């Protein structure tokens, strides 16, 4: 029976990989089987660890930050982990957020095993590297399980108010960081530290913070760091984002509430405002696509706006994914795109949309996204000389900034 089930799973996977070569499919199936092989439950920590190859045991060593044991043989590592993993259980959980800690508790409450939730393969690899969670197939179903000797200690930790408080703090750190980067694109460590302390009303322990953020990003990559600081994963040029911020010294970062940032800090968050939904509806009404397809297209338009693409570049992208049959259709589409771009919170504008900057100004209209000179779409914005200072406050000439 189990062989039949495994064959069905393999066939399903191969069909999903139809665009790959046979060699690539073979490799993918091999990796898949490594994470989803037959698993008998209940099982002990020793039995769970014995399923791992040496490189996976080394992953546990790195995750637990254990030194001086890299030369141990597989059997020696397993024996060492049998003592060390339960000993470090609380320390490991103190770097988790509510999602990962909640998953452990859920498995423990169900007696040590649950049907596997819909997780990315990178998340499965991360969980296995903790030495706590084991993936496999049981009675034809993909499951996540805990060694039986860890079930009671995890439930005990869940009753520990201090542990739960730190897990809640970690969750806020992660979501606030992701939310700030979603709206501002790139921030230096100093900027992040200052903003987080403002929102949490507590002094930030940078060592703990970096450990928590690093692990959260291994589990689910939503950001990255380099010499410029931390950036949203869709930022292509962090240096340019920071330069645009610097050139707008007279403009403060948009004052988002803590609740707004926590909401934006959820994985795969995208702000679907009215102008966003209007473009989605326009695409589904006028082109042969469903709402999901239209949403994916409009999402790319938003991120093109965020990285600094101009109107013409966004229209050029759209012309490659949908068929524009007439100038009238180009004109209608452009109108919707201009509206979207003008109402999109932008990294270069420190989290403001062009519309909000215009409304913020008391003395003059700031330029919104405008159609190109030969575009059939009229604009109502006040004319700005190409050699005049750009009204957005960047300090550049208009022709070198928003007038490009």
Q: Give the pLDDT confidence of 112-138 residue by residue, as tens digits.
A: 999 999 999 899 999 999 999 999 999
Q: Model pTM?
A: 0.83
Q: Torsion angle of alpha carbons 386, 387, 388, 391, nearest 10°?
A: 50
Tell me which residue of 178, 270, 267 sits closest to 225, measured CA to CA.
178
Torsion sign over Cα 203, 205, 206, 210: negative
User: Are the beta carbons of 163 and 94 closer than 8 angstroms?
Assistant: yes
Q: How far is residue 152's CA from residue 45's CA, in Å, rounded to a whole number?
A: 13
Contact (CB, 8 A) for 377 and 385: no
> Strand, coil or helix: what is 298?
helix
Kindly give, in sequence order, each residue whose CB lies less than 8 Å from that of residue 320, ignoring residues fewer than 6 positions away.
none
Other Cβ atoms within 10 Å of 263 Cβ, number: 15
Q: Using 50, 70 and 90 to split pLDDT, how confident is the model at 366?
A: very low
> H-helix or E-strand containing 138?
strand 134-138
What's the chain's length in residues?
404
| pLDDT tens by residue, 299-357 | 999 999 999 999 999 999 999 999 888 899 999 999 999 999 999 999 999 999 999 99
DSSP 8-state assignment for residue 397: B
pLDDT for the residue numbered 361: 72
Query: 114 has which bridge partners?
Result: 144
Closest CA to 26 of 8, 37, 38, 10: 10
11, pLDDT greater than 60: no
Contact indicator for 328, 352 with CB cutoff of 8 Å? no
Q: Is 232 exposed, middle or buried (0-12, 13-18, 19+ CB in 10 A)?
A: buried
Contact between residue 199 and residue 258 where contact means Cβ atoms under 8 Å apart: yes
Q: What are the tokens at 113?
A: 């095993």
Among candidates 276, 388, 387, which has minimal Cα distance to 336? Answer: 276
Q: Is the pLDDT of residue 174 over 70?
A: yes
Q: What are the pLDDT digits (tens) for 88-107? A: 999 999 999 999 999 999 99
Backbone dihedral angles phi then psi of residue 146, each to the nearest 5 degrees: -115, 145
Distance CA 152, CA 156 (A): 6
Q: How far is CA 96 from CA 89, 119, 254, 300, in A?
A: 11, 16, 30, 31
Q: What is the mean pLDDT of residues 35-62?
A: 93
How many whole angstroms separate alpha carbon 385 and alpha carbon 31?
60
User: Average per-residue pLDDT in the chain?
Assistant: 87
Which CA distances in Å does 395 have to 237, 344, 345?
20, 22, 20
The pLDDT confidence band at residue 218, using thresholds 50, 70 and 90, is very high
- The angle formed by the CA atoms of residues 215, 118 and 138, to the nearest 5 degrees, is 105
Question: 280, 294 in Cβ contact below 8 A?
Answer: yes
Return the structure tokens found at 323: 């068929």
CA-based nearest residue to 6, from 51, 37, 45, 35: 37
Distance of CA 240 to the CA centre of its chain: 21
**Bond into 42 cis (ω within 30):** yes
Sole residue written with tokens 């297209």: 297
Token pair in block for residue 161: 């108010």
């Amino acid at each position: 029976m189990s062989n039949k089930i495994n064959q069905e799973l393999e066939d399903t996977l191969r069909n999903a990989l139809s665009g790959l070569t046979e060699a690539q499919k073979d490799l993918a199936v091999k990796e898949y089987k490594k994470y989803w092989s037959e698993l008998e439950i209940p099982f002990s920590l020793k039995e769970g660890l014995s399923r791992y190859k040496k490189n996976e045991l080394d992953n546990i060593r790195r995750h637990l930050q254990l030194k001086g044991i890299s030369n141990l043989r597989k059997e020696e590592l397993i024996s060492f982990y049998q003592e060390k993993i339960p000993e470090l259980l609380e320390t490991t959980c103190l770097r988790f957020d509510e999602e990962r800690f909640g998953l452990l508790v859920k498995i423990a409450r169900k007696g040590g095993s649950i049907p596997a939730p819909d997780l990315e393969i990178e998340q499965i690899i991360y969980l296995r590297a903790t030495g706590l969670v084991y993936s496999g197939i049981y009675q034809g179903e993909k499951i996540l399980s805990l060694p039986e000797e860890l079930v009671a200690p995890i439930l005990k930790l869940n009753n520990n108010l201090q542990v739960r408080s730190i897990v809640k703090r970690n969750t806020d750190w992660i979501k606030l960081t992701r939310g700030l980067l979603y709206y501002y694109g790139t921030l230096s460590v100093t900027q992040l530290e200052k903003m987080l302390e403002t929102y949490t009303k507590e002094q930030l322990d940078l060592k703990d913070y970096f450990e928590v953020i690093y692990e959260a990003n291994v589990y689910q990559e939503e950001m990255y760091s380099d010499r410029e600081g931390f950036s949203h994963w869709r930022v292509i040029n962090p240096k340019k984002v920071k330069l645009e911020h610097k050139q707008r010294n007279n403009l403060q970062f948009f004052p988002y509430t803590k609740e707004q940032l926590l909401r934006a800090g959820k994985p795969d968050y995208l702000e679907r405002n009215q102008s966003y939904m209007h473009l989605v509806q326009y695409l589904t009404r006028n082109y042969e696509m469903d709402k999901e397809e239209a949403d994916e297209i409009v999402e790319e338009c938003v991120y093109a706006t965020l990285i600094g693409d101009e109107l013409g570049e966004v229209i050029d992208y759209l012309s490659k994914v949908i068929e524009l049959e007439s100038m009238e259709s180009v004109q209608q589409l452009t109108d919707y795109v201009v509206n979207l771009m003008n109402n999109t919170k932008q990294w270069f504008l420190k989290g403001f949309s062009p519309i909000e900057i215009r409304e913020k100004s008391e003395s003059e209209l700031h330029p919104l996204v405008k159609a190109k000179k030969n575009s059939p779409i009229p604009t109502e914005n006040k004319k700005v000389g190409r050699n005049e200072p750009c009204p957005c406050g960047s300090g550049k000439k208009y022709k070198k900034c928003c007038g490009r």
